[in-house]
Amino acid sequence: MSQLNKNKKHRKNEHTSLKNRKNRTRYSHNLKKKNTKKKNRKKYNNVDDRKMKMIPIGGVGEIGKNMTVFEYGDEAIIVDCGLKFPDDDMLGVDIVLPDFDYVEKNKDKIKGLFITHGHEDHIGGVTYLEKVANIPIYTTKLTRGLLEKKLTEAGLEDEVKINTIKAGTPVKLGNFEVEPIQVTHSIADSVAFAIKTPAATVVHTGDFKVDYNPIDNKMIDLQRFAQLGNEGVDLLLSDSTNVEEGGYTPSESTLGETFYNIFRGCKNRIIVTTFASNIHRIQQIADAAVAYNRKIAISGRSMQNMVDVARDLGYLKIPDSALIDIKDIDKYRPKELVVITTGSQGEPMAALGRMANGDFKNLEVGPNDTIIISASPVPGNEKMVSEVINKLVEKGSEVIYQKLAETHVSGHAKREELKLIQALTKPKFFVPVHGEPRMLLHHKNLAEKMGIPSKNIFIMNNGEQLEFNHNKAEIINETFSSDSVLVDGLGIGDIGNIVLNDRKKLSENGLIVVIQKMKNNTPIGSPDIISRGFVYVKENEELIEEAKAEVEKALQVSRDKHYTEWSDIKSEIRSTLHKFLRNRMDRNPMILPILVNV
């Protein structure tokens, strides 16, 4: 072989050897890199294997007292803390609160309370919660203003820290990152929340609708929902209030034309009632009033508070020159006035209810009034609203309400909007919230049609726990107390089913009080019988005398049976009188025997 060929072969072998060394080095580097990835992935999976918990304290299977706890490890946050107004059978009850027992026991792990918006069913329980578990609050500017007024009235203004948050700016608390997302609703400054931990990403819509033409030009941030969907949403919680209604909820701005049409050419005094929290509605009413040179008077405590806070913070723009005190309305002719008032739900003690009953001291309604009810009755309030309308009509007033004109639009999303949010977020798991049982079921069915497997959708009860991460979700067996806490005056939680049943029985059948003097377990004289809400004694003397005779029989039976315990004697009186009244009148009053030792 020539020297030239030998050199070529040597260079070729040298090149091959170098290439092999490079390949081995590259392989070793890639293997090391691959092993590092495996280690990292294993490490990530260890974190990923930890789970979040979602515990609805209130707000599922009902409309009201919305409150949800999210936990990760030894840390937790709360979303919303609302109240619920009492059902018809909760006689004497003022408000209904969530059960704070779980939160109170775990208050040391709770990093913050995040509020979606300023409606009572989302903020109404805050002052009660803060008395048992002092928790920093995170919310938007307007909601903060409303909360500060509540906390001041409760004497807690110096004890609770409120932090102002903005849509698009995340808040980092330990392992939690909470990002507010701009949504539209029937109150300004409403937000949804994207909640991130190493275990999972959650989107909680809060109350929302998709309004492409909002009054304040702050449109729902659909782009951010879509971005989160692309990043990966593990769990979606979504508003179910209007899931039974197809299509889209109309924009709040559509009502402006309605108000202008009613105001145009109207010679009467105009009285408008709406929800005090609906600042955008109030703004449109005020705009129409100013356009037609009418002065604006505000009536009702909650309405006045809302207008004051919203104007101070710049959310409501009404010229000072347009506002007058409700006490000064007699200085103006009817065509120069608009009164914005509370009472849209027919509440008898609200301003419009008192006007209808003729006991509102600042004005008396009559033929010179056009009254606009710019709200729909909350389920259960239909009868009260109808009664108020009838009374106003009887006084000669013109009453305009939803069946006669487009005076109200909802603040909650209908089916097509709910589908849009699901399509954008593409969640692995879904929990419908903010709805009664049938609404949650309809929302579950809607989610299935959007492609979410049935096994990944959870209809929950208050107090249950959903445990989940990127890969798996399940309701675990452990549950927590979720009983409603009833507030009656200054009493919190001291009213239960027994008391409510007694109140119901008293309201339906009345009360019989039996007073018997006793000496050494022996009756002295005849019993006295007092009736309240059962029969009028003076018109039923014969019945009362017969009832006294039955009581005397019961006392004789007690002596024959040698009863010495007064509880046994009372039980005998109660049983005997109950049988007599049921047979004699087919009625079942509450019977209260009182034995007096003389």
Residues 6+ apart with CB under 8 A from 250: 406, 409
- From residue 218, alpha-carbon distances to 29, 183, 280, 521 in Å are 52, 8, 12, 77
Question: Any idea which residue has 């509540």 for tokens?
Answer: 150
12 contact partners, CB below 8 Å, separation of at least 6? none
Tokens of 525: 């004289």
Take residue 50 and report the two structure tokens written for it: 């930890």
Torsion of the alpha carbons at 547, 548, 550 and 555, rounded to the nearest 10: 150
Is the CB of residue 581 less than 8 Å from the CB of residue 502? no
SS (H, E, C) 225-259: HHHHHHHCCCEEEEECCCCCCCCCCCCHHHHHHHH
Residues 6+ away with beta carbon under 8 Å from 568: 558, 561
Tell me which H or E stretch contains 46.
helix 3-49
| C-alpha span between 224 and 169 (Å, rounded) | 12
Residue with tokens 């092999």: 20
In terms of Cα–Cα distance, which of 205, 213, 209, 211 is closest to 181? Answer: 205
Residue 59 zone, left/alpha/beta (φ > 0; ψ -120 to 50; rest): left
**Exposed / middle / buried, residue 136 (Cβ in 10 Å: 0-12, 13-18, 19+):** middle
Residue among 411, 189, 157 nearest 310 (CA): 189
Is residue 412 flagged as an active site residue? yes
Rounded to whole angstroms, how far apart are CA atoms 195 and 522? Answer: 72
Q: Is 239 a catalytic residue?
A: yes
Residue with tokens 């108000």, as numbered in its chain: 259
State the greatest distance between any 2 C-alpha atoms of the chain, in Å, as a whole number. 147
If DSSP codes are grouped into helix, strand and coil, which group holds residue 473?
strand
The residue from 185, 408, 412, 443 that is catalytic is 412
| Residue whose C-alpha is closest to residue 243's, from 462, 463, 449 | 449
In this structure, what DSSP letter does residue 361 have?
T
**Catalytic one of 211, 239, 369, 488:** 239
Please name every residue paired with 516 in a beta bridge, in sequence order, or none if there are none: 595
Separation of alpha carbons 183 and 179, rounded Å? 13
Residue bearing tokens 């049988």:
579
Q: What are the residues facing 491 on neighbouring strands? A: 488
Our measurement of the distance from residue 499's CA atom to the centroid of its chain's CA atoms, rounded to an integer in Å, reads 25
Residue 120 identity (one-letter amino acid): E
Pairwise CA distance, residues 569 & 559, whole Å: 9
Contact partners, residue 92, CB within 8 Å, separation at least 6: 488, 495, 503
Collapsing DSSP states into helix, strand and coil, what is residue 323? strand
268 strand-pairing partners: none
Cβ atoms of residues 281 and 252 within 8 Å: yes
List active site positions: 239, 412
